[in-house]
């Protein structure tokens, strides 16, 4: 009967851990065979020495004959000693793996995930596609939580136009790139203890100087002050959280997102979507902010590029408007995927259809970038009460207009059952890896 209760962990049986050593692709069996050959050679040497001792007519005590099973036929003795030897070797590898490398595995030596399981997972993820995810906010972090189970070759390219909340305050006071979206990506890709991840997401309450600040934002800012380099700070923060993949800013310039709505110009990402019925256009200041060379290299080397999900005007377009970004995407041989939002966003895309999302992107960057577009097909889930109150509706799939654009549409259930306006990381990543990357 399965056990339950707080703090209980699902344990992998020792037999499963032992069998995992023989799984193809671990790069272990060749060395096990070589070790076995070495043991055989040592055994032969010992056999030659014993043969010479027997030939020298040395008299052994009677108990030696019993210990070496002299009363059994030689073939039976050979099989028995071979079975005992193999069993001892397997047991020794299992115990050595836990004793020597256990402290360096997640969980600090706990037996819930053995060395063989860790090695198998590492090898499997290393074979995954070189994947680049571009975006920002909760949409990008949701995507990363899902795809990290299929590949370890992930580069998340994150927008740096955020100027609201904790990120905006730190950006203004310390002149650093906004750390908020980067923090969310770090925790999404984290492989460390859940408590550490929860710590990075912790937000201070009260009314003091720390009120509203996220611990992770403060940590990244402090690391940038210590290292003198924001990129270095992200890498070091990633080591603390043991992230699977890399996180790089889309640009290293201090950019401001601006938007036009009729004759009005809004300056600042946090001011763009509020009190506006429709955005005409967004642009960056300075307009010549160039792409981060690290992001460009990742795009050119990618096999699969995913843009979205995320706010169209404040998460997706701020990345695409960076000088050199579209050129790098067009030059990349990767399969390019756009994940369309499930629901419209007040002040940005209320009432938008899928084709209007694509048309807006094309109007801003001048070209069609995508090979595939993923559209949610599950329209049966009720919208959250807050979304209904705000007048939010689902993004519609206008088939007639959509077919006019040269992209492949994939309609699939990718909506979260908890928050139906958000994507489910598991569903979304499965669609990407099973139906696009095969």
155's enclosing H/E stretch is: strand 154-158
Residue 40, domain member (yes or no): yes
What is the distance between the alpha carbons of residues 32 and 92, in angstroms, rounded to a whole number? Answer: 12
What is the distance between the alpha carbons of residues 415 and 378, in angstroms, rounded to a whole number? Answer: 7
Same domain, 94 and 133: no
Residue 398, domain member (yes or no): yes
Burial class of residue 198 in the structure, from the number of CB atoms within 10 Å of its CB (0-12 exposed, 13-18 middle, 19+ buried): exposed
**Residue ending a domain, choose from 120, 138, 159:** 120
Tokens of 355: 């084709």
* Strands laid side by side in the 256-261 sheet: 264-267, 256-261, 281-285
What is the distance between the alpha carbons of residues 100 and 254, in angstroms, rounded to a whole number? Answer: 47
Q: For 233-277, give the DSSP string.
A: HHHHHHHHHTBSSEEEES-SS--EEEEEETTEEEESGGGTTSS-S
Same domain, 213 and 93: no
Half-sphere exposure for 297 (CA within 13 Å, toward CB):
6
How far, rounded to the nearest angstrom, does the alpha carbon of residue 90 sit from its chain's CA centroid? 33
Same domain, 97 and 221: no
- Residue 111, pLDDT score: 43
Residue 430, domain member (yes or no): yes
The neighbouring-strand residues paired with 412 are 376
- Residue 17, pLDDT score: 57
Same domain, 138 and 182: yes
Same domain, 157 and 65: no
Q: Give the CATH number for residue 417.
A: 3.40.50.10680
- Residue 319, pLDDT score: 97
Residues of the chain with pLDDT under 50: 1-14, 108-112
Report whether 192 contacts 201 (CB < 8 A).
Answer: no
What is the distance between the alpha carbons of residues 272 and 79, in angstroms, rounded to a whole number? Answer: 78
Alpha-helical runs (H) found in 148-214: 165-174, 180-188, 194-201
Same domain, 130 and 110: no
**Residue ending a domain, choose from 76, 99, 120:** 120
Same domain, 333 and 234: yes
Domain limits for position 370: 125-436
Residue 425, domain member (yes or no): yes
* Strands laid side by side in the 335-339 sheet: 246-249, 154-158, 131-135, 304-307, 335-339, 372-376, 408-412
User: How many independent structural domains does the chain possess?
Assistant: 2
- Residue 13, pLDDT score: 47
Tokens of 383: 């919208």
Tokens of 356: 């209007």
Same domain, 191 and 256: yes
Residue 6, domain member (yes or no): no
Residue 62: asked if its preceding bond is cis (omega within 30°), the reply is no
Same domain, 154 and 62: no
Same domain, 86 and 193: no
Same domain, 391 and 323: yes
Beta-carbon contacts of residue 93 (< 8 Å; ≥ 6 apart): 21
Same domain, 148 and 245: yes
Residue 7, domain member (yes or no): no
Residue 9, domain member (yes or no): no
Residue 4, domain member (yes or no): no
What is the distance between the alpha carbons of residues 232 and 243, in angstroms, rounded to a whole number? Answer: 14
What is the distance between the alpha carbons of residues 380 and 317, in angstroms, rounded to a whole number? Answer: 30
- Residue 43, pLDDT score: 83
Model confidence, pTM: 0.78
- Residue 54, pLDDT score: 67
Residue 286: asked if its preceding bond is cis (omega within 30°), the reply is yes
**Residue ending a domain, choose from 57, 85, 120:** 120
């Amino acid at each position: 009967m399965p056990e339950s209760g707080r703090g209980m962990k699902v344990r992998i049986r020792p037999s499963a851990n032992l069998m995992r050593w023989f799984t193809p692709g671990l790069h272990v069996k060749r060395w096990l065979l070589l070790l076995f050959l070495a043991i055989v050679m040592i055994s032969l040497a010992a056999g030659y020495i014993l043969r010479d001792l027997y030939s020298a007519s040395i008299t052994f005590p009677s108990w030696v004959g019993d210990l070496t099973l002299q009363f059994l036929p030689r073939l039976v003795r050979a099989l028995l000693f071979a079975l005992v030897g193999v069993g001892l070797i397997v047991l020794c590898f299992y115990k050595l793996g836990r004793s020597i490398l256990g402290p360096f595995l997640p969980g600090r030596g706990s037996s819930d995930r053995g060395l063989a399981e860790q090695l198998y997972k590492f090898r499997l993820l290393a074979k995954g596609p070189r994947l680049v995810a571009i975006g920002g906010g909760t949409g990008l972090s949701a995507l990363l939580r899902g795809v990290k189970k299929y590949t370890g070759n992930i580069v998340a390219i994150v927008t740096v136009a955020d100027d609201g909340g904790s990120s905006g305050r730190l950006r203004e006071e310390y002149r650093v790139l906004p750390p908020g979206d980067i923090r969310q990506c770090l925790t999404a890709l984290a492989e460390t203890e859940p408590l550490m991840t929860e710590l990075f997401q912790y937000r201070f309450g009260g009314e003091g100087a720390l009120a509203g600040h996220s611990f992770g934002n403060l940590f990244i800012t402090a690391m940038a002050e210590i290292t003198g380099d924001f990129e270095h700070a992200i890498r070091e923060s990633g080591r603390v959280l043991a992230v699977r993949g890399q996180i790089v800013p889309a640009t290293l310039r201090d950019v401001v997102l601006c938007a036009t709505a009729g004759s009005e110009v809004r300056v600042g990402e946090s001011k763009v979507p509020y009190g506006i019925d429709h955005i005409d256009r967004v642009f960056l200041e300075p307009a010549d902010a160039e792409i981060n060379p690290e992001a460009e290299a990742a795009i050119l080397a990618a096999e699969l590029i995913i843009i979205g999900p995320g706010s169209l005007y404040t998460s997706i377009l701020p990345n695409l408007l960076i000088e050199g970004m579209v050129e790098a995407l067009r030059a990349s041989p990767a399969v390019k995927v756009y994940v369309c939002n499930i629901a419209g966003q007040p002040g940005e895309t209320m009432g938008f259809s899928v084709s209007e999302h694509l048309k807006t992107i094309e109007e801003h960057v001048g070209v069609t970038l995508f090979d595939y577009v993923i559209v949610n097909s599950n329209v049966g889930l009720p919208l959250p009460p807050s979304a209904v109150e705000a007048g939010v509706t689902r993004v519609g799939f206008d088939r007639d207009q959509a077919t006019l654009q040269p992209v492949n549409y994939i309609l699939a259930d990718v909506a979260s059952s908890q928050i139906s306006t958000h994507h489910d990381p598991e569903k979304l990543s499965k669609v990407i890896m099973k139906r696009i990357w095969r």
